[in-house]
Every structure is written in C-alpha cells, then in structure tokens.
Amino acid sequence: MSASPTDGRVRKGDRTRQAIVRRAADIASVEGLEGLSIGRLAGDLEISKSGVFAHFGSKEELQLAAVGAAIDIYVERVVTPARTAPTGLVRLWRLTEGWLEYSRDRVFPGGCFFFNAAAEFDARPGRIRDALARAWQDWRALLVTEAEAAKAAGEAIEDLDAAQLVFELIAFLETANGISMLHDDQSAYTRATTAIRTRLLAAATNPKSLDAELSF
C-alpha cells in the first residue's frame, strides 16, 4: 500500500519542526533563549517566517520546544549510554564521564545548553524556568538514585551523604564547562575527571576494586 499525500506532508512537517527546534537549541546555547526569533530561524533554515510560526505560534512555545529538544539530545548523549554500566558508583562515573564528553565535544556550540539557559532564567518565574528546573531535578535525581543504590548494595560507605556527593559531582561538571567556555581551557575537563574519580573512590567501600572499573 502506498503512502497517502497526507502522510508525506506530515512526515515533511515533522522533519521541518525537528530542524527548527534543533537549530533553535544551538542558537540558544550561545545567544540565550531570548535570542531566538522566528525571523532568524527562517533565514538560517531558508524557510518562510509563516512556516516557522505555523509550528509554534509564539516565541514562548518555540523556547519550550528548544528546551524539549535539548532534553532529548542530552538523554541520548549522556544518559542512555551510561545505562549499559552496572548500577551504582560505576554508573555514576559513566554518567559524569558522558556529561563531560557532551560538554567537551560541543554537542551544543555554547557548551552545556542547560548551564546557560538556567543562568538566563533562574530568577524569572514562568513556564520556561519551570521546564528547566524539572530537567535539572531529573538529572540530580538520577545521580542520587545511583548513589543510593551503591549504598544499598554495600558498594558505598554506610554514612555516605548521597545528596552531598551529587552536589559536588555537579559542581565539578559545571565548573569544567564554565572554565572551558570562558577561558578556552580544555584542561578543565581533565581536572574535573580527576576530581570526580577521587571523590567516587573516597565513597567506595572497596576503592581498589572500583578503581579497576573506572577508565581514565
């Protein structure tokens, strides 16, 4: 059975929308979500302004779509690959390692999309701030879950404060991203890797065994 013309138009519309939100996320990572405009996107993608507007209807909807696209890319590049690792401290390592690669490889040209967007909207209540806050909380909760799993399995020390550990890991990640962008200093990633490795080994009940599992 051949596809109907309607099916073809739907697929083309989906591809166009995906191209718009991906370009929007790239621009926002450098110029901020407020830097997005329908005219800019239309020019960059060589489509009409009305074509862009038809997919979103407002600047806020475009901004929210850019956040959603960034979340999907983040999950694909950072979260999904780490799920192949054993739960606990090794998976924590893989998650942080994936995050550093995501930032270092400039998956978004402005570094971490969420680092920049959060700084732009952290004091501005509304739907965009709420979406960014949910994304950050989901990331933090994922890391805490792995730290707690390590404790439950006896892999991490009994008195480990999982929330404190995760706070420190995120601080290492975001500092590396910020320094690398502001100073064009790639050594920040090596320093963050060393700091995270040291912190995870300190949290382990058997550091020697964990050390063998961590690639450097």
**Per-residue confidence in pLDDT tens, the chain, 216 aa:** 555 555 555 567 688 899 999 999 999 999 999 999 888 899 999 888 888 888 888 899 999 999 999 999 999 999 999 999 999 999 999 999 999 999 999 999 999 999 999 999 999 999 999 999 999 999 999 999 999 999 999 999 999 999 999 999 999 999 999 999 999 999 999 999 999 999 999 999 999 999 999 865
Whole-number Å distance between alpha carbons of 129 and 179: 24
Question: Is the distance from CB of 87 to CB of 94 less than 8 angstroms?
Answer: no
Give the ranges where 75-126 is alpha helix by DSSP (H). 80-82, 89-104, 113-121
Whole-number Å distance between alpha carbons of 38 and 48: 9
Distance, C-alpha 168 to centroid of its chain: 17
Question: Is the distance from CB of 93 to CB of 10 less than 8 angstroms?
Answer: no
Query: Domains in the chain, start-ordered, CATH in brackets?
Result: 5-213 (1.10.357.10)
Q: What is the pTM of this model?
A: 0.91
